[in-house]
Amino acid sequence: MRNNSERGKWVATVLTQAWRREPTPSQISAAELAGITPFLLKTGSGGLAWWRIQHTEVGTSSAGLKLKHAYISQVLGEELQEKEIVQAFAVLRSAGIEPLLAKGWAVTRLYPGPGLRSSTDIDLCVREQERLRAKERLSALVAQGCWLDLHTEFRPLDRTVEELYIHSQQVPLGEAEIRVLGPEDQLRLLCLHMLYHGVFRPVWLCDLGLALESLPSDFDWDYFFSGKHRNSDGVLCALGLAHQLLGARLPENSPSALKNRHLPNWLVPSVLEQWGKMEHYMYSLPMAFHLRHPKGLFKALRLRWPNPIQATARVGGPFNELPRLLFQVAECFQRTGKCLARGLSVSLHKYDDVC
């Protein structure tokens, strides 16, 4: 029986540089691919895995065909989401509200073809004074099944909303112009969001690899690293992971802090261990449900034990060589407190399962 770390290495093998237009065909075996395909499909990495193996012998295997079907499904899903994004922007702009799009399609658009990245929710940011009006205007789209996540800030960025607007840019989507975060804010948010959720979706690390290799020539590294020191150091580690684990190429003008940042010894093993697991609490019922229905409670608690990356990021700890156990315990207490403060309400949003 294979251990989690070994399966995690297979995931890294099949996704190495998978974001490139013509990636080197993966050398993964049919048995190895079959062992990780359920995880790839569950975490939205199927399209990228297919892109990497499509011209190999395993591309025609049973697992390969499942990945191909996932890729086709993601192509259709991307087309639908693009229509929803255009609709959401049109609705808000008709009310005099200019939204900002973050993550999701803002990253998907950089990939060399459709269907390579799975994206479900649409993250929009508006000014605080516009939030209620924006929510009301978007209610019809939400009722139709559009998965919208409305923000008035992205706290980990250490930026004001006005700063985000100043550095934002407009990009084409069909006949529409969509305002997205500037490349510096986008990359920083991708890094911190990935760490906050413990790197449990490999596609997030592929996003970083793609973003690193797509940076504009005038990318402002000083602005990118501005903010809390520990957040910025976490960003260095996130980019280092993309480079070391998935072969992302660092830009020639990368600052020495990025080129010389040594990753803590526990970081890469933590990612591989996470990628080797077949279950994750984000794909299970909320903890509040298990507290009301104790059957399965022990398993739910076990799934919610934070991995070292998630614990470090959520409690604001340093990414150094110290043991992670204290951070993991602290994160559990922190999350339990949030759960109790919310009155153990069953959340309808996937990222609201704070318990």
In this predicted model, what pLDDT tens digit does every residue of 143-185 receive, in sequence order?
Answer: 999 999 999 999 889 999 999 999 999 999 999 999 999 999 9
The predicted structure's pLDDT at residue 343: 56
**Diameter of the chain by CA atoms?**
58
The predicted structure's pLDDT at residue 263: 98
What span, in angstroms and rounded, lies between the C-alpha atoms of 49 and 198?
A: 21
Backbone conformation region of residue 144, classed left if phi is above 0, alpha if psi is from -120 to 50, else beta:
alpha
- 8 A C-beta contact, residue 30 and residue 61: yes
Provide the residue ranges of all domains of the chain, joining segments of one domain with +: 4-272, 282-352
In this predicted model, what pLDDT tens digit does every residue of 318-355 receive, in sequence order?
Answer: 999 999 999 999 999 988 787 777 654 444 343 333 33
Q: What is the mean pLDDT of residues 101-115?
A: 96
The predicted structure's pLDDT at residue 188: 98
CB atoms within 10 A of CB 108: 20
The predicted structure's pLDDT at residue 342: 66
* CA 69 from centre of chain: 22
The predicted structure's pLDDT at residue 286: 74
Give all strands (DSSP E) within the chain, no chain letters. 100-102, 122-125, 148-151, 169-173, 176-180
- 8 A C-beta contact, residue 123 and residue 103: yes
Helix axes 30-42, 46-53, angle to 10 degrees: 150
